[in-house]
Amino acid sequence: MRILLGVSGGIAAYKAVLLLRLLREQGHAVRVLPTAAALRFVGAPTFEALSGEPVTAEVFEDVAHVPHVALGQGADLVVVAPATADLLARAASGRADDLLTSALLTARCPVVMAPAMHTEMWEHPATRANVATLRERGVVVIDPASGRLTGADTGPGRLPEPEEIARVALAAASAPSGGAGATRGDLAGRRVVVSAGGTREPIDPVRFIGNRSSGRQGVALALAARARGAEVTLVAANLDEAVVAGARAAGVAVEGVETTAQLRDAVRGAAGTADAVVMAAAVADFRPAVVPGAKIKKVPGAGPAPIELVENPDVLAELARERLRAGQVVVGFAAETGDADTSVLEHGRAKARRKGADLLAVNAVGDGRGFAVETNEVVLLDGTGDEVGQASGTKREVADAIWDAVAKQMSGI
């Protein structure tokens, strides 16, 4: 992959060296585009030695090859780390006063920016407005980390670690059609809610009723929507902390939950202003009627005490029925297994008619399919159970196919 690594003039520029080495070790060709201020923190010889390519901030060098246009046109991915408040402002306003900002205007590939600055600068309304503008255009702006800044200061504004920046950037570049989803911004201005993971219903303070969902498909949906310009809220049911941190770094708002009741409250709380709600979480259908305050003890020879179960609310059916916002698109998932009498798709058709969602993604699970793997295969049904599409491949590819279908339905909102 041909990557442009933009570096602007902040103390965190030294971490760009680590990011450069990481990207090169993964086999990518990287051309560093520093600002003049960045070269006061890290010299051109360092970037040239590690990249194997020339380094300049000027548009008047090597003019015959028109680098201020050609570099952006030929890139597969642009990463800016660190992105200072000044660089964010210049990029948002469309300035082209150095090689980096010129390349940003000509790039038609995914663009990922990792801001780093003092907390007061990050929280200033001008910076917030510039970030919002860039995100609306489809740029992936990673939220900065919180921690030690220059001197004794601490707070949000710290550059994320190079490994996290690389992970988010390469994920953005993996969108279908060479990353078009990450840059076309077809969900810009939209607000979406995605649920992911598996709910857990406590039996006692130690044990719970759960399921095998890893949440990977839901997280892929959240990241794909964010890359396409949407404002995304991810309701995360028992997801791994590293996955949650990665979603937050990509600009996704995350609310963690454990039980179905908590997920229901969180989704409904966010859905009132959402253009689309995608229920990708595996939600427990039942919960224990009574949860004791102490661990249930095993009594030798007595056998297990029966556990009375009660039905949980049907969150997807509620959302489809109530439509908490006019014109809202509601999408559900049906993880199914076939049986002796009924196929996976037949089960899905019955569920589509019962739930009433605009789209239902039906996928077969079990035997290494669906749960805890990197790939997925779904059939999209409408509210009557008719097939309206299919998607297969990586979970990110499936996510983009689902958002393609959702975007068509939202076009009238």
User: What whole-number distance in Å separates Cα of residue 317 and Cα of residue 201?
Assistant: 20
Quote the distance between the C-alpha of residue 69 and its chain's center. Answer: 30
Backbone phi and psi for residue 370, each to the nearest 5 degrees, phi listed first: 80, -70
pLDDT classification of 49: cutoffs 50, 70, 90: very high
The identity of residue 277, as a single letter, is V
pLDDT at residue 57 above 90? no
Cβ-based neighbours of 9, under 8 Å, separated by 6 or more:
35, 36, 37, 38, 40, 41, 84, 86
DSSP three-state, residue 244: helix
Q: Which residues contact 153 (CB under 8 A, 6 or more apart)?
A: 118, 119
Q: Where in the chain is the domain with CATH 3.40.50.1950?
A: 2-184
Q: Rg of the chain's alpha carbons, rounded to an integer?
A: 24
pLDDT per residue as tens digits for the range 247-295 = 887 789 999 999 999 999 999 999 999 999 999 999 999 999 999 999 9
Domain spanning 191-410 has what CATH number? Answer: 3.40.50.10300
Which CATH number is 2-184's, of 3.40.50.1950, 2.60.40.420, 3.30.1360.120, 3.90.1420.10? 3.40.50.1950
Residue 329 pLDDT more than 70? yes
pLDDT tens digits, 20-34: 999 999 999 999 999
pLDDT band at 180 (very low <50, low <70, confident <90, very high): very low
HSE-up (13 A, CA, CB side) for residue 199? 24
For residues 43 and 118, is the Cβ–Cβ distance under 8 A? no
Q: Which residue shows structure tokens 């510039």?
A: 130
Helical axes 176-184 vs 216-227, angle rounded to 10°: 60
Catalytic residue among 130, 211, 312, 376: 211
| Placement of tokens 């857990």 in the chain | 200
268-269-274-280 Cα dihedral, nearest 10 degrees: -50
pLDDT category of residue 178 using cuts at 50, 70 and 90: very low
Name the average pLDDT for the chain: 89
The CATH 3.40.50.10300 portion of the chain extends over: 191-410
Q: In this structure, which amino acid lies at residue 236? A: A
Active site residue 211: yes
Give the C-alpha separation, 221 to 401, whole Å.
10
Cα-based distances in Å from 343 to 68, 336, 347: 57, 9, 6
Predicted TM-score (pTM) above 0.75: no
